[in-house]
Copies of this chain bind each other. A is one copy, B any other.
């Protein structure tokens, strides 16, 4: 084998593409080409955690904690700013719009009326106020073909999709934003060390030897997307490491921004670290209680900086208002 063990080339050489890979690659290509023709900006939002299988017939795996709130909310705000959105998310993690309602909540909003052979189901009047604005934005985004969902579960599926998305996005040059909010595992178990069958508890407690996942930001920034506006995320639990680690990542990978956040306070405080500056965004206690999303000011700031960096205007209207795009 040519590739050095631990390198990104080696990772792609030993991990096969996921089964639905070609379908997703076609969807990504069609989506990017269509929006490129219209001169739109596109953001790739990655969201949710990746898993590392511990067995081939995956019963057990190591997971990274992430409900996917950051990515799902951010996708909605990018749509409002006129971006087309590739929402690349962990299977079953939160999604834009539906994140506001779980299945249970939606069923509780419904009234059923049976009159002879006719059954009708309506949303209760007091739930309409909550549901209507979200439903309108959902329908607008989907009828404009402004959002594409692609899903991953394992860390290798994530990397295959990420590279395919970059392949299609690179044509957009500086109009592409990568917003890498997914919680990607730093560690994995190489394919040839994974047992085929379920680990048996009778044979004693196992030891799991983890290996380092290669840093994909390096080829992404240097080779795959050299002109894109790349935003990565740092989630820490130790405040002292937060900014130094964000600066170190910028120095190392030479991308545009690190959004630094602490696990405990991530829903009301983020720091936007760029090579030139750092900017803290805070929600007040009142805003938090009122259910405000920190992703609203966070995305607004990134949209501003992206516009400045590629010398274009900040679009304020969603794509649906710029005329219909072809249906999906």
Taking Cβ atoms with an 8 Å cutoff, the residues of A that contact B are 51, 54-55, 57-65, 67, 92, 95, 97-99, 101-104, 106-107, 110, 112, 119-123, 128, 131-132, 135-136, 138-139, 183, 185-187, 196-201, 204-212, 235-238, 241, 263-264
Contacts and interface: CB of A to CB of B under 8 A. Distances in A.
Contacts of A106: 98, 101, 103, 106-107
A58 B60 CA distance: 17
A145 to B, nearest CB: 15
Given A107-B135, A128-B121, A198-B238, A59 B95 contact: no
Contacts of A136: 112
A208 B205 contact: no
A243 B302 CA distance: 58
Contacts of A183: 59
Q: Top 4 closest A-B pairs, CB basis?
A: A98-B103, A121-B123, A186-B201, A57-B237
Question: Chain A at the B interface: mostly helix, strand, loop or mixed?
Answer: mixed
A207 B206 contact: no
Copies of this subunit: 2
Nearest to A136: B112
Contacts of A122: 120-123
A201 B245 CA distance: 12
Contacts of A185: 60
Q: Which of A98, A121, A210, A264 has the most CB of B within 10 A?
A: A121
A209 to B, nearest CB: 5
B112 A107 contact: no
B205 A209 contact: yes
A107 B235 CA distance: 32
A295 to B, nearest CB: 18
Nearest to A208: B208
